[in-house]
Structure 1
Amino acid sequence: MNKSDQKIDIVILAAGLGTRMKSSKPKVLHELLGKPMVAYILDAVKDLCADPAVIIVGNQAELVRETLGDQARYALQEPQLGTADAVKCARETLQGKSDMVLVANSDFPLIRPETYRALVEKHLASGAVLTISTVITEDPRGFGRIVRDADGKVCKIVEEKAASPEELAITEVNSNPYCFQADWLWKSLDRIKKSAVGEYYLTDLVELAYQEGAFVDAFEIEDEEESIGINNRVNLADAMRVAQKRINEKWMLEGVTMIDPQRVYIESGVTLGKDTVLYPEVYLKGSTTIGEGCELGPSVMIEDTEIGDFVKIKYAVLEKAKVENHVDMGPFGHLRKGAHLGEHVHMGNFGEVKNSYLGEGTKMGHFSYMGDAQVGKDVNIGAGTITCNFDGENKFKTEIGDDVFIGSDTMLVAPLKIGKGAKTGAGAVVTHDVEADTVVVGVPARPHKKES
């Protein structure tokens, strides 16, 4: 068989309790930049095989299945009796189906797709029954040490807590993932003996293969950051910094300026246009899209929001909103779910918009609130204007036509329609519809009659 024709299956170990995370959430679902850590492995290995990876689940298995859906196949490990026992749970699904099995731990989210590919290629080229991943480091992080014989061949992995002083001095440590000849793996799993703590360790296959004279190869991961395994919140923060650095560098190479990249947070699902400038303390989350030539920050949080081109926003929060081109917003503005600002809208400081559309060229003054409103073009919304859209039980809509002038401190009591070109006086409380080109003033607001 041609090596390039060999079929590969992927097994991802995700059944553990993750007790050191001290969390009610499964460790594998803890997020890095808006995505569960196990999803990083799924993305990294998806091009290696035609079939979805098999995820070994155990702790809160249904929640893991619910979160990842049909991105993977699943096998249940119950009870959890170690990594070798976990792999054995995939045997019924995979035995006889592939030539090679790649086993990855779900808590190593930083390993790049090209690293997985290089490991597979080395394994296929070497003819080894097992190829392990290693890293040379002065900070072993509790990983097992790679022990070699006098000829330099890998002969076993010694866990740190069982290592001698000489073994503890070894700087080549066990990393992740592993590649196996499939037939050898499935028949060898039953030969692993239970450890002193009652578990079966996959790493014991290294010594077992060596003792039977089979070849065990080693693949060195040169970028030590890829081998950050996550066991606790400190490790999670370390991995977060690496993942963020990668994303920020990617966008800077695509033409985005970051005044201080270490103070910019961008989740994995965000996209940005060229010539956009990000100031410190910008947080871009979810499925947010940012256009070209924007200036965001300082201190802006945007989540699941669509931003057009040449938009300026500072000291603001935007959630599930849409902002068209050439909008100027802030400081201290808030767009809530359903807010939509048309082109060339200006939104002043301490303004808030919820489930409302502001038409092209409209200017909304400071300390104003538009909720459940449809606002036309070139409307002036004076400072302190409020749409009174909720009566305690139901919400009602306010409709404001083009070229309307809303005086400062106006209360618009919905349901309400303000006709094109109408005006309200400062401090008006508008409780009835206003016809086009009409001026209303007072409390309650009435049409203004000019003195004869």
Structure 2
Amino acid sequence: MSLETVVVLAAGEGTRMKSTTPKVLHEISGLTLLGHVLHAVSGLKGKNLCIVVGAGRELVEAHVAQIAPHATTVFQEHRGGTGHATQLALAGTSSQGTVLVLAGDTPMLTGASLEALLEVHHKGKFAASVMTAEHPDPTGYGRIVRSEDGSLLRIVEERDASDEEKAIYEVNSGVYAFDGVKLAAAIGKLKNDNSQGELYLTDVLEILRNDGGSIAAVLIEDFIEILGVNDRAQLAESAALLRDLINDNLMKAGVTIVDPISTWVDSTATVESDVTLLPGTWIAGSTKVASGAVIGPRSTLLNCTVASGAQVIESHCTGAVIGANASVGPFTYLRPGTQLGTSSKAGAFVEMKNAVVGDGSKVPHLSYVGDATIGEGSNIGAATIFVNYDGVEKHHTVVGDHVRIGSDSMLVAPITIGDGAYTAAGSVITEDVPPGAIGVARAKQRNVLGWVLRKRSGTKSADAASRHDDGKKG
């Protein structure tokens, strides 16, 4: 028998989250809760993937279409329990082969544990197999009740459990592998004679057992894999656990993380060996950081690519490409479309957007570079502004190779500064500057002698000026 259908139960209201966002769409480590579960099942060879949706149907279905377009969704209109949700899923999919059922709010679950469950299930030809774990605080979980010979007898939900059953530490993960044909036959026998008036999928196990089927309980090593998320505190707990797991794996792979508690790396990011991550750093989204790079302290990289040997200090970068041995920061803001060449620099208090900076070029400090192309070996003086917006449209500026832009220049797009050209400090450049020329666009300086003594008499400035002959002229 092989895996035929994967059913993900994602219809819960999540009332304890106190959010307008459906529970399964809350994010940790770069993915939604549902996204983590779908990632865990992505390596399995099931033919069908069915997701049962309920609260926030439109939002969840749109998310599923984006991250798992091959999946089908089934709408659970009213709260009828996990058994009812599974009934709906089976009505629209094949019940041949193995049916895997799991919850959509268990972000720590791994594909390896799912494969282990399926291996036991298929090898033993069980009617059903349940993933279980020993939990140090089983409050809120269904308890695993075993018979005298150690086989699974039943699963009791906490709200229906006796005091003796509540003392059991082995709990249900909410992950099941079923013989599809036997599941389809048994699920129609479910009754809602419980405190919630719902159909419990767990009751199927007792039905299968009474019909002569054998049930396996597969105990996994680490209980954190089965942790569900029902409120904001559990969301934060799962995020911290996943952070620790990711950081531990990175350090084992040769990444230096100076302060693992304050360093967050999304599960969707890639960090190579010999990278150094300093405190307060967040490597987010699809970011890729190459060997030898140093990131931080207090830096954010979202959907960025960082080449070998680059350094990012106390900066926020989104959608940027940072070249080998390039330098960013401190207090730099790189926006989408920014590309820094090899050994280039975006220094202190620099903002860039849709800008390509050539190899060896530098924008050292206090500048805005938007909608621009800068060639190789150029230097952009302090407080230079690339004036790219006329109030209606954005315009592009081209700066050639080995150009020197004087401090406090304004480059009013669209213009081109030719190779080897200069601009004088304080210039407002509105026309092209030919290669090798210097662009000067500022008023001629005029000194009005004696002005302070006449206009600011009695001030300390006037007293200081009076000590000099030039200060008395005019």
Could you say what secondary structure the match of 2:436 adopts? coil
How far residue 442 of structure 1 moved from its aligned partner, in angstroms, is: 4.3
| CA pair 164-196 structure 1, distance change in 2 beyond 3 A | closer
Could you say what secondary structure the match of 1:420 adopts? coil
Contact 1:259 1:279 in 2 (8 A): yes
Counterpart in the other structure of 2:417: 418
2:51 to 25, 44, 55: 55
Could you say what secondary structure the match of 2:221 adopts? coil
Counterpart in the other structure of 2:63: 67
Counterpart in the other structure of 1:448: none
**Structure 2 CA distance, aligned partners of 1:104 and 1:125?**
20
Counterpart in the other structure of 1:217: 216
Could you say what secondary structure the match of 2:186 adopts? helix
Counterpart in the other structure of 1:339: 338
Counterpart in the other structure of 2:7: 11
Decide which moves more: 376-385 or 128-137.
128-137
Counterpart in the other structure of 1:158: 156
2:181 to 161, 180, 183: 183
1:24 to 17, 20, 26: 20
Counterpart in the other structure of 1:45: 41
Q: Percent identity, please.
A: 38
1:123 to 121, 124, 127: 121
Counterpart in the other structure of 1:372: 371
How well do the aligned residues superpose, as a CA RMSD in angstroms?
1.9
Counterpart in the other structure of 2:272: 273
Contact 1:105 1:176 in 2 (8 A): yes
Decide which moves more: 208-217 or 384-393.
208-217
1:152-193 CA distance string (max 9 Å, x none): 332222221222222221122222311112111111111111
* Match status 1:319 vs 2:318: yes
Give the letter aligned to residue 22 of structure 1: K
| CA pair 95-275 structure 1, distance change in 2 beyond 3 A | closer
**Structure 1 CA distance, aligned partners of 2:94 and 2:53?**
18
1:61-82 CA distance string (max 9 Å, x none): 2322221221422222222311
The TM-score normalised by the length of structure 2 is: 0.88
Counterpart in the other structure of 1:252: 251
Counterpart in the other structure of 1:449: none
1:259-309 CA distance string (max 9 Å, x none): 112221111221122211111111111111112211110011111112111
Contact 2:9 2:51 in 1 (8 A): yes
1:138 to 136, 139, 143: 136
How many residues align? The count is 441
How far residue 200 of structure 1 moved from its aligned partner, in angstroms, is: 0.8
Give the letter aligned to residue 426 of structure 1: A
Decide which moves more: 24-33 or 40-49.
40-49
Contact 1:154 1:210 in 2 (8 A): no
Give the letter aligned to residue 219 of structure 2: E
| CA radius of gyration, larger in | 2
Could you say what secondary structure the match of 1:141 adopts? coil
Counterpart in the other structure of 1:396: 395
1:96-121 CA distance string (max 9 Å, x none): 4x222111111112121111111112
**Structure 1 CA distance, aligned partners of 2:375 and 2:211?**
80
Contact 2:278 2:295 in 1 (8 A): yes
**Structure 2 CA distance, aligned partners of 1:280 and 1:92?**
51
Q: Which runs of 5+ in 1 are unaligned?
A: 446-452
**Structure 2 CA distance, aligned partners of 1:411 and 1:138?**
64
Give the letter aligned to residue 74 of structure 1: T
**Structure 2 CA distance, aligned partners of 1:272 and 1:174?**
35
Give the letter aligned to residue 29 of structure 2: L
Give the letter aligned to residue 322 of structure 2: V
The TM-score normalised by the length of structure 1 is: 0.92
Alignment of 1:203-242 (within 5 A): 203-242=202-241
**Structure 1 CA distance, aligned partners of 2:167 and 2:286?**
46
How far residue 444 of structure 1 moved from its aligned partner, in angstroms, is: 5.8
| CA pair 444-388 structure 1, distance change in 2 beyond 3 A | farther
Give the letter aligned to residue 233 of structure 1: R
**Structure 1 CA distance, aligned partners of 2:246 and 2:414?**
46
Contact 1:429 1:444 in 2 (8 A): no
| CA pair 169-213 structure 1, distance change in 2 beyond 3 A | same
How far residue 213 of structure 1 moved from its aligned partner, in angstroms, is: 4.3
Could you say what secondary structure the match of 2:112 adopts? helix
**Structure 2 CA distance, aligned partners of 1:313 and 1:142?**
44
How far residue 24 of structure 1 moved from its aligned partner, in angstroms, is: 1.2
**Structure 2 CA distance, aligned partners of 1:232 and 1:430?**
57
Could you say what secondary structure the match of 1:75 adopts? strand
Counterpart in the other structure of 1:443: 442
Contact 2:3 2:47 in 1 (8 A): no
**Structure 1 CA distance, aligned partners of 2:167 and 2:424?**
81
Contact 2:319 2:336 in 1 (8 A): yes
| CA pair 126-371 structure 1, distance change in 2 beyond 3 A | same
Contact 2:6 2:46 in 1 (8 A): no
**Structure 1 CA distance, aligned partners of 2:259 and 2:430?**
50
Contact 1:353 1:369 in 2 (8 A): yes
How far residue 387 of structure 1 moved from its aligned partner, in angstroms, is: 1.2
Counterpart in the other structure of 1:290: 289
Could you say what secondary structure the match of 2:79 adopts? coil
**Structure 2 CA distance, aligned partners of 1:214 and 1:341?**
64
**Structure 2 CA distance, aligned partners of 1:428 and 1:240?**
51
Counterpart in the other structure of 2:307: 308
**Structure 1 CA distance, aligned partners of 2:255 and 2:136?**
35
Could you say what secondary structure the match of 2:377 adopts? coil
**Structure 1 CA distance, aligned partners of 2:22 and 2:250?**
31
